[in-house]
A and B are shown apart, each in its own frame.
Chain A
Amino acid sequence: GAGVSQSPRYKVAKRGQDVALRCDPISGHVSLFWYQQALGQGPEFLTYFQNEAQLDKSGLPSDRFFAERPEGSVSTLKIQRTQQEDSAVYLCASSGRDGFPYGYTFGSGTRLTVV
Protein backbone atom coordinates (compact mmCIF):
# COMPACT_ATOMS: atom_id res chain seq x y z
CA GLY A 1 0.00 0.00 0.00
CA ALA A 2 0.85 3.64 -0.10
CA GLY A 3 1.57 3.95 3.59
CA VAL A 4 1.94 2.04 6.82
CA SER A 5 -1.41 0.59 7.83
CA GLN A 6 -2.33 -0.26 11.40
CA SER A 7 -5.39 -2.02 12.76
CA PRO A 8 -7.51 -1.66 14.67
CA ARG A 9 -7.54 2.13 14.95
CA TYR A 10 -9.07 1.89 18.42
CA LYS A 11 -9.17 -0.94 20.91
CA VAL A 12 -10.82 -1.02 24.30
CA ALA A 13 -9.78 -3.95 26.44
CA LYS A 14 -10.80 -5.05 29.89
CA ARG A 15 -7.96 -5.38 32.31
CA GLY A 16 -6.51 -8.87 32.04
CA GLN A 17 -7.57 -9.34 28.43
CA ASP A 18 -5.05 -10.18 25.70
CA VAL A 19 -4.84 -7.92 22.65
CA ALA A 20 -3.17 -8.15 19.25
CA LEU A 21 -2.25 -5.10 17.19
CA ARG A 22 -1.43 -5.37 13.53
CA CYS A 23 0.97 -3.44 11.34
CA ASP A 24 1.18 -3.60 7.55
CA PRO A 25 4.39 -1.82 6.52
CA ILE A 26 5.07 -0.25 3.18
CA SER A 27 5.61 -3.03 0.67
CA GLY A 28 9.27 -3.95 0.44
CA HIS A 29 10.34 -2.09 3.56
CA VAL A 30 12.97 -4.11 5.34
CA SER A 31 12.88 -2.45 8.74
CA LEU A 32 9.85 -2.29 11.03
CA PHE A 33 9.59 -0.58 14.40
CA TRP A 34 7.04 -0.48 17.18
CA TYR A 35 6.69 2.54 19.45
CA GLN A 36 4.47 3.28 22.44
CA GLN A 37 3.19 6.83 22.83
CA ALA A 38 1.56 7.80 26.10
CA LEU A 39 -0.68 10.85 26.24
CA GLY A 40 1.37 14.03 25.96
CA GLN A 41 4.60 12.14 25.43
CA GLY A 42 6.86 11.40 22.51
CA PRO A 43 7.05 7.93 20.98
CA GLU A 44 9.05 5.45 23.08
CA PHE A 45 10.84 2.64 21.27
CA LEU A 46 9.59 -0.89 21.88
CA THR A 47 11.15 -3.22 19.32
CA TYR A 48 12.72 -3.42 15.87
CA PHE A 49 12.68 -6.01 13.08
CA GLN A 50 14.86 -6.37 10.05
CA ASN A 51 12.90 -8.65 7.77
CA GLU A 52 11.68 -11.44 10.06
CA ALA A 53 14.49 -11.10 12.57
CA GLN A 54 13.78 -9.22 15.77
CA LEU A 55 17.07 -7.41 16.27
CA ASP A 56 16.20 -5.27 19.25
CA LYS A 57 13.48 -5.74 21.84
CA SER A 58 15.08 -3.74 24.59
CA GLY A 59 12.14 -1.33 24.79
CA LEU A 60 9.46 -3.89 25.57
CA PRO A 61 8.30 -2.94 29.07
CA SER A 62 7.59 -6.44 30.34
CA ASP A 63 7.34 -10.07 29.29
CA ARG A 64 3.63 -9.47 28.70
CA PHE A 65 4.63 -7.73 25.47
CA PHE A 66 5.52 -9.86 22.48
CA ALA A 67 6.06 -8.95 18.82
CA GLU A 68 6.50 -11.06 15.74
CA ARG A 69 7.02 -10.64 12.01
CA PRO A 70 7.11 -14.24 10.78
CA GLU A 71 7.30 -13.61 7.03
CA GLY A 72 9.17 -10.34 7.09
CA SER A 73 6.19 -8.18 6.17
CA VAL A 74 3.13 -7.89 8.47
CA SER A 75 3.91 -7.60 12.17
CA THR A 76 1.79 -8.21 15.24
CA LEU A 77 2.32 -6.72 18.68
CA LYS A 78 0.66 -8.80 21.36
CA ILE A 79 0.01 -7.69 24.89
CA GLN A 80 -1.04 -10.33 27.37
CA ARG A 81 -3.04 -9.70 30.53
CA THR A 82 -3.42 -6.00 29.76
CA GLN A 83 -3.11 -3.48 32.57
CA GLN A 84 -4.24 0.12 32.78
CA GLU A 85 -0.70 1.42 32.33
CA ASP A 86 -0.66 -0.22 28.89
CA SER A 87 -3.16 2.40 27.68
CA ALA A 88 -1.38 4.36 24.95
CA VAL A 89 -1.15 4.80 21.22
CA TYR A 90 0.96 2.09 19.64
CA LEU A 91 2.77 3.31 16.54
CA CYS A 92 4.35 1.23 13.85
CA ALA A 93 6.97 2.61 11.47
CA SER A 94 8.78 1.10 8.55
CA SER A 95 11.89 2.01 6.64
CA GLY A 96 13.19 0.80 3.35
CA ARG A 97 16.78 1.41 4.21
CA ASP A 98 19.01 -0.54 6.46
CA GLY A 99 20.55 2.59 7.85
CA PHE A 100 17.50 3.85 9.68
CA PRO A 101 16.12 6.19 10.92
CA TYR A 102 16.37 7.64 7.47
CA GLY A 103 13.09 7.34 5.59
CA TYR A 104 10.91 6.39 8.56
CA THR A 105 7.18 6.30 7.76
CA PHE A 106 4.78 5.97 10.65
CA GLY A 107 1.28 4.51 10.63
CA SER A 108 -1.67 6.28 12.24
CA GLY A 109 -1.38 4.12 15.31
CA THR A 110 -3.71 1.99 17.42
CA ARG A 111 -5.15 3.71 20.46
CA LEU A 112 -5.44 1.12 23.22
CA THR A 113 -7.56 1.88 26.25
CA VAL A 114 -7.55 -0.62 29.10
CA VAL A 115 -10.52 -0.30 31.43
Chain B
Amino acid sequence: GENVEQHPSTLSVQEGDSAVIKCTYSDSASNYFPWYKQELGKGSQLIIDIRSNVGEKKDQRIAVTLNKTAKHFSLHITETQPEDSAVYFCAASKGGSYIPTFGRGTSLIVHP
Protein backbone atom coordinates (compact mmCIF):
# COMPACT_ATOMS: atom_id res chain seq x y z
CA GLY B 1 0.00 0.00 0.00
CA GLU B 2 0.86 3.67 0.02
CA ASN B 3 3.45 4.99 2.47
CA VAL B 4 3.71 8.71 3.21
CA GLU B 5 6.70 10.18 5.02
CA GLN B 6 6.53 13.72 6.36
CA HIS B 7 9.35 15.96 7.61
CA PRO B 8 10.12 17.68 9.84
CA SER B 9 8.03 16.55 12.78
CA THR B 10 8.48 19.94 14.44
CA LEU B 11 9.25 23.28 12.82
CA SER B 12 9.84 26.48 14.74
CA VAL B 13 10.07 29.81 12.88
CA GLN B 14 9.94 33.52 13.62
CA GLU B 15 6.93 35.51 12.53
CA GLY B 16 7.44 36.69 8.95
CA ASP B 17 9.75 33.84 8.00
CA SER B 18 8.84 31.13 5.50
CA ALA B 19 8.07 27.55 6.46
CA VAL B 20 8.45 24.46 4.30
CA ILE B 21 7.09 21.01 5.07
CA LYS B 22 8.01 18.08 2.86
CA CYS B 23 6.31 14.78 2.13
CA THR B 24 7.27 11.78 0.06
CA TYR B 25 4.99 9.00 -1.15
CA SER B 26 5.64 5.53 -2.46
CA ASP B 27 2.77 4.66 -4.81
CA SER B 28 3.30 6.20 -8.24
CA ALA B 29 -0.44 5.76 -8.90
CA SER B 30 -1.29 8.38 -6.28
CA ASN B 31 -2.64 11.46 -8.00
CA TYR B 32 -4.22 13.65 -5.32
CA PHE B 33 -2.33 15.33 -2.49
CA PRO B 34 -4.24 17.37 0.11
CA TRP B 35 -2.83 19.27 3.07
CA TYR B 36 -4.74 19.64 6.33
CA LYS B 37 -4.29 22.05 9.23
CA GLN B 38 -5.20 20.69 12.65
CA GLU B 39 -5.62 23.19 15.45
CA LEU B 40 -6.06 22.27 19.08
CA GLY B 41 -9.73 21.73 19.84
CA LYS B 42 -10.77 22.22 16.23
CA GLY B 43 -11.38 19.88 13.36
CA SER B 44 -8.77 19.49 10.68
CA GLN B 45 -9.27 21.84 7.77
CA LEU B 46 -8.28 21.26 4.17
CA ILE B 47 -6.02 24.20 3.35
CA ILE B 48 -4.78 23.37 -0.12
CA ASP B 49 -4.55 20.41 -2.46
CA ILE B 50 -2.86 19.51 -5.71
CA ARG B 51 -3.49 16.94 -8.39
CA SER B 52 -0.83 15.16 -10.34
CA ASN B 53 -1.45 17.02 -13.58
CA VAL B 54 -0.21 20.22 -11.92
CA GLY B 55 3.28 21.04 -10.64
CA GLU B 56 2.44 23.95 -8.37
CA LYS B 57 -0.59 25.59 -6.86
CA LYS B 58 -0.76 28.79 -4.84
CA ASP B 59 -3.39 30.35 -2.61
CA GLN B 60 -2.29 33.64 -1.04
CA ARG B 61 0.52 32.82 1.43
CA ILE B 62 0.26 29.08 0.90
CA ALA B 63 1.66 27.09 -1.99
CA VAL B 64 2.15 23.43 -2.74
CA THR B 65 4.62 21.93 -5.20
CA LEU B 66 4.64 18.43 -6.60
CA ASN B 67 7.46 16.47 -8.18
CA LYS B 68 5.94 13.31 -9.63
CA THR B 69 9.26 11.90 -10.77
CA ALA B 70 10.75 12.10 -7.32
CA LYS B 71 7.41 11.33 -5.66
CA HIS B 72 7.52 14.23 -3.28
CA PHE B 73 5.41 17.27 -2.57
CA SER B 74 5.89 20.24 -0.30
CA LEU B 75 3.85 22.87 1.52
CA HIS B 76 5.24 26.39 1.55
CA ILE B 77 3.92 29.08 3.87
CA THR B 78 5.32 32.58 3.39
CA GLU B 79 5.17 35.52 5.79
CA THR B 80 4.19 33.24 8.64
CA GLN B 81 1.91 34.55 11.38
CA PRO B 82 1.29 33.23 14.91
CA GLU B 83 -2.14 31.98 13.83
CA ASP B 84 -0.39 29.64 11.40
CA SER B 85 0.78 27.65 14.43
CA ALA B 86 -0.85 24.23 14.16
CA VAL B 87 -0.17 20.64 13.14
CA TYR B 88 -0.09 20.17 9.39
CA PHE B 89 -0.76 16.82 7.73
CA CYS B 90 -0.07 15.82 4.16
CA ALA B 91 -1.88 12.96 2.48
CA ALA B 92 -1.70 11.01 -0.76
CA SER B 93 -4.51 9.28 -2.57
CA LYS B 94 -5.27 7.61 -5.85
CA GLY B 95 -8.45 9.64 -5.89
CA GLY B 96 -11.84 8.24 -6.70
CA SER B 97 -12.78 5.67 -4.10
CA TYR B 98 -9.30 5.29 -2.62
CA ILE B 99 -8.81 6.22 1.01
CA PRO B 100 -5.97 8.74 1.50
CA THR B 101 -2.87 7.84 3.47
CA PHE B 102 -1.69 10.52 5.89
CA GLY B 103 1.76 11.58 6.97
CA ARG B 104 2.63 11.77 10.67
CA GLY B 105 2.18 15.51 10.86
CA THR B 106 4.38 18.55 11.41
CA SER B 107 3.92 20.77 14.40
CA LEU B 108 4.55 24.32 13.18
CA ILE B 109 5.27 26.93 15.83
CA VAL B 110 5.42 30.57 14.77
CA HIS B 111 7.01 32.81 17.38
CA PRO B 112 5.80 36.42 17.48
- Give residues in A with beta carbon < 8 Å to B: 3-4, 33, 35, 40-45, 48, 55-56, 59, 91, 93, 99-109
Contacts and interface: CB of A to CB of B under 8 A. Distances in A.
Interface in B93-112: 93, 95-97, 99-105
Interface size class of B (residues with CB under 8 A): 20 to 34
Interface string B41-79: 111111001000000000000000000000000000000
Contact of A101 (B9, B42, B91): B91
B36 interface: yes
A91 B6 CA distance: 20
A104 B105 contact: no
Contact of A108 (B9, B41, B100): B41
Secondary structure dominating the interface of A: loop
Contacts of B41: 108
7 contacts: A35-B102, A45-B99, A56-B99, A101-B100, A106-B45, A107-B43, A108-B41
B105 A41 contact: yes
A91 B99 contact: no
B23 to A, nearest CB: 10
B4 interface: yes
B102 A43 contact: yes
